[in-house]
Amino acid sequence: MKTVLVLGANGGVGKAVTKAFLGAGWRVLGLVRAGKAVADGIVPVYADLFDAAAVAREAGHVDLVFNGLNVPYPVWDTQALPTYTAAADICEALNARQIYPGSVYNFGSRMPRALTPQTPFAPDTLKGRIRVSIEDLFRRRAETGRLRTILVRAGDFFGAGASQSWMNALVAKDLGQGKIVTPGKKETLHAWAYLPDLAAVVVRLAEIEASLGAYEVFHFENHNASANDLAEAAGLALGRKVTVKHMPRFMFSLIALFSPFMKAALEMLYLWDVPHGLVDCGERAQKSLAQLIGPVPRTPLDQAMKTLL
């Protein structure tokens, strides 16, 4: 039986991934702080994230690390890079490859509509520049033989367990009342990632990781959908019409006066103005997810939206 250590096991993506690994017959360890509980079936590893030797000692043999760490927006400028550096140190101490979910922040506000693995980075926000720095860290360590990484770039997470995601906290918050809310235009394309589908991809890549290079990047092309598309799919799930409501931008500025999270999120609102979608494979790519793992999991959008009710 293979063993995976999940960093961020109690987060939205961490919970989805641990469930998928357990379903695939893996032994699942979860790194948690003392006093914190983990879901049934997960073996807790009580150690400090920033003490790689202690984590390795407590975890024992590990075949793979899933890096599902989530640094809160308000402290990204000071804590994000040290946190992901600590995750890389843990992987080195364990001599285990990591799978890390990347984001579209790297491409900036002038990004093209279709984002392939070959699309150049052009970050123009603090969070985008930090994301690029994190990936540079992983890539440099791979080039020197210190770390092996599979990066799966995904859109905004959504699903029943992603309570802090844009979808769950805002866009589909009033779905039960027949409403979809968007900060942008109704027709603007946006990249989304349904967590059970992403988790299934992570497990499939874990099963073949030994055949991959030291640093691999894949784009998870799941649901590239506008607010109108979400409303249409939700309408199918509900069996009635779902309307799209626009949330004026000034409302975010007002909320930011009292919310550290929203204050830190303001620079990312361009994601609702710039049409973008992830594409699995570009013209110059050597291999795509579909070529490596077969049909890429993609739950129909109406079924995925139904889980949010």
User: What's the pLDDT at 239?
Assistant: 93
User: What's the pLDDT at 58?
Assistant: 96
* Conformation bin of residue 41: beta by default, left when phi > 0, alpha when psi is -120 to 50: left
User: What's the pLDDT at 301?
Assistant: 98
- Helices 52-59 and 76-94, interaxial angle, to 10°? 50
Contact between 1 and 207 under an 8 Å Cβ cutoff? The reply is no
What the block records as the tokens of 195 is 């967590």
With a cut of 70, say whether residue 282 has pLDDT above it: no
Please write the tens of the pLDDT for every residue from 129-184: 999 999 999 999 999 999 999 999 999 999 988 888 999 989 999 999 999 999 99
With a cut of 50, say whether residue 261 has pLDDT above it: yes
Give 284's pLDDT tier (boundaries 50, 70, 90): very low
Please write the tens of the pLDDT for every residue from 28-83: 999 988 778 888 899 999 999 999 999 999 999 999 999 999 999 999 999 999 99
The torsion of the CA quartet 7, 85, 153, 253, rounded to 10 degrees, works out to 90
User: What's the pLDDT at 286?
Assistant: 63
User: What's the pLDDT at 35?
Assistant: 76
Please write the tens of the pLDDT for every residue from 107-123: 999 999 999 999 999 99
With a cut of 50, say whether residue 295 has pLDDT above it: yes
